[in-house]
Amino acid sequence: MMNTSPADPSLIDSREAAWRLLVTLGLVVLGNSSMYVVSVVLPAVQAEFGIGRADASLPYTLMMVCLGVGGLWTGRLADRHGLMPVLWVGAAAVCGGFFWAGSSDSIWAFGLAHGLLGLIGSSSTFAPLLADTALWWNRRRGIAVAICASGNYIAGALWPPIVQHGIETIGWRQTYVLMGLVCGLGMLILSLRMRQRPPLVSLAPAGNVASEVDRSRPFGLRPALAQFLLCVAGVACCVAMSMPQVHIVAYCSDLGFGAARGAQMLSLMLACGIVSRLVSGVICDRIGGIRTLLLGSALQGVALLLFLPFDGMVPLYVISAMFGLFQGGIVPSYAIIVREHFDPNEAGARVGAVIMATLVGMALGGWLSGWVFDVTGSYKAAFLNGIAWNLLNLSIAGWLFWRVRRQASEASASPASSA
């Protein structure tokens, strides 16, 4: 039975919280598997259905859009009914979505199946679990949330080589069916450990930055405008981020290295992203969210530039690892920025909106890169497109950082002027 009463506050930062975090990590790894599997099967699906690269990228786009929308819905359901029922529905959607995709007879059915995987399956193990984790930790909340957020990168490191082996041995359709059984049943079993609702206590904010800014005027702007700029930045950085993540397998196939090499590069990229996400959490605590975003955006742009002159197999392995190390902390930094600069009573809704914008960016970037390739016949142009979007993100982050510095200077000067 579901325990509807909140847990005792003494369980915060306890061994029980640590066990729950471990279970949460497993749920994220299983529930987010479809986010990375679809990139591996892209060449096989394109060949079987006889479609272009842009059309073959549509299932990923639809899944990411549905994941963003579904996160808002599943988060509200978890607040009202607890995590376990939401995870049960998510497990059924993961199992059914993989089965549906494996038996689809057109790209549209394949795409709709991935929409189901994102809307109910993956979304049940993304935003709701991040929110739940934050409520079980106080002193170590930053690293706990970073571990939870790293689960989708662990999924990206774990599943692509497994799925590629399945494609080569039993075919992509049978591999999808097995994925549905393993991930769906695994989620169902692990969800039994999530009966207890989290403690309902006020947690101390991470760091002291939040007390130094005017929450009613984030960055000295109207809250709606500041929110809009963060959402645009979220879309822009993830359009750029999705280019290598979605198309590295197809890119390697076009270069003659084979899909298996591309799957290994994707796995390496996301494994390095795990390290990046954890290290960026520590960096955020030291320098703040906006500086972390600015640093991550600049480094991501450098990695994207390196894809242009180098297309050998060994350089691509190295650049894939660099890209993973550089970009992993970008998305979590938005949550820190909201915590530092906005009214804490609005943090949940604002974080959800920015995270949804990043997922829209991943969805748009996956399709847009395929469309640019179809139009130009070259992934060089697709990388240039990603670099342009990254420059937009860097410009917004740089301007917001400049406003933060100006606010700090004005605040430090005001006592002197009054004296």
Query: Residue 297: which domain range?
Result: 214-405
Among candidate residues 196, 226, 254, the one where a domain is terminated: 196
Q: Clarify whether residues 222 and 183 are in a common domain.
A: no
Q: Chain-centre distance of CA 376, in angstroms?
A: 29
Q: Clarify whether residues 268 and 166 are in a common domain.
A: no
Q: pLDDT band at residue 419, thresholds of 50, 70 and 90?
A: very low
Q: pLDDT band at residue 411, thresholds of 50, 70 and 90?
A: low
Q: Chain-centre distance of CA 174, in angstroms?
A: 27
Q: Clarify whether residues 130 and 272 are in a common domain.
A: no
Q: Clarify whether residues 229 and 143 are in a common domain.
A: no
Q: How far apart are CA 304 and CA 236, in angstroms?
A: 14
Q: Clarify whether residues 191 and 248 are in a common domain.
A: no
Pairing of strands 3-6, 196-197: parallel
The answer to whether residue 38 sits within a structural domain is: yes
Q: pLDDT band at residue 24, thresholds of 50, 70 and 90?
A: very high
| Confidence at residue 202, expressed as pLDDT on a 0 to 100 scale | 45
Q: Which two tokens stand for residue 324?
A: 């993973």
What is the DSSP track for 160-189?
Answer: HHHHHHHHHHT-HHHHHHHHHHHHHHHHHH
The answer to whether the CB of 39 falls within 8 A of the CB of 266 is: yes
Residue whose C-alpha is closest to residue 104's, from 92, 94, 114: 114
| Confidence at residue 207, expressed as pLDDT on a 0 to 100 scale | 44
Helix (H) or strand (E) holding 69: helix 53-81
Among candidate residues 196, 227, 246, the one where a domain is terminated: 196
The answer to whether the CB of 304 falls within 8 A of the CB of 390 is: yes
**DSSP character at residue 18:** H
Structure confidence by residue, pLDDT tens digits, 298-343: 999 999 999 888 888 888 899 989 998 888 778 877 877 776 777 7
**DSSP character at residue 7:** P
The answer to whether residue 309 sits within a structural domain is: yes
| Confidence at residue 209, expressed as pLDDT on a 0 to 100 scale | 43
Least confident of 92-106, 181-195, 257-271: 257-271
Instruction: Count structural domains, the chain.
Output: 2
Structure confidence by residue, pLDDT tens digits, 84-141: 999 999 999 999 999 999 999 988 999 999 999 988 999 889 878 877 887 787 777 6
Among candidate residues 168, 196, 224, the one where a domain is terminated: 196
Give the mean model confidence (pLDDT) for residues 360-369.
Answer: 83
Q: Clarify whether residues 185 and 42 are in a common domain.
A: yes
Q: Clarify whether residues 227 and 350 are in a common domain.
A: yes
| Confidence at residue 413, expressed as pLDDT on a 0 to 100 scale | 66
The answer to whether the CB of 6 falls within 8 A of the CB of 199 is: yes
Q: Clarify whether residues 176 and 225 are in a common domain.
A: no
Q: pLDDT band at residue 59, thresholds of 50, 70 and 90?
A: confident
The answer to whether residue 60 sits within a structural domain is: yes
The answer to whether residue 78 sits within a structural domain is: yes
Q: Clarify whether residues 243 and 363 are in a common domain.
A: yes
Q: Which two tokens stand for residue 372?
A: 């640019």
pLDDT beyond 80 at 40: yes
| Confidence at residue 132, expressed as pLDDT on a 0 to 100 scale | 81
Q: Clarify whether residues 296 and 385 are in a common domain.
A: yes
The answer to whether the CB of 394 falls within 8 A of the CB of 301 is: yes
Give the phi and the psi of residue 5 in degrees, each rounded to 5: -90, 145
Tokens 């978890």: give the residue.
Answer: 78
The answer to whether residue 205 sits within a structural domain is: no
| Confidence at residue 357, expressed as pLDDT on a 0 to 100 scale | 86
CATH number at 237 reads 1.20.1250.20
Q: pLDDT band at residue 208, thresholds of 50, 70 and 90?
A: very low
3 state SS of 6: strand
Give the mean model confidence (pLDDT) for residues 198-219.
Answer: 56
The answer to whether residue 242 sits within a structural domain is: yes
Q: How far apart are CA 308 and CA 189, in angstroms?
A: 45
Give, in order, the Cα–Cα distances in Å from 391 to each of 275, 280, 295: 24, 21, 13
What percent of the chain clears pLDDT 70, i.e. is strictly above it? 90
Q: Clarify whether residues 56 and 185 are in a common domain.
A: yes
Give the mean model confidence (pLDDT) for residues 271-295.
Answer: 82
The answer to whether residue 410 sits within a structural domain is: no
Residue whose C-alpha is closest to residue 88's, from 197, 198, 192: 192
pLDDT beyond 80 at 266: yes
Q: Clarify whether residues 30 and 163 are in a common domain.
A: yes
The answer to whether residue 117 sits within a structural domain is: yes
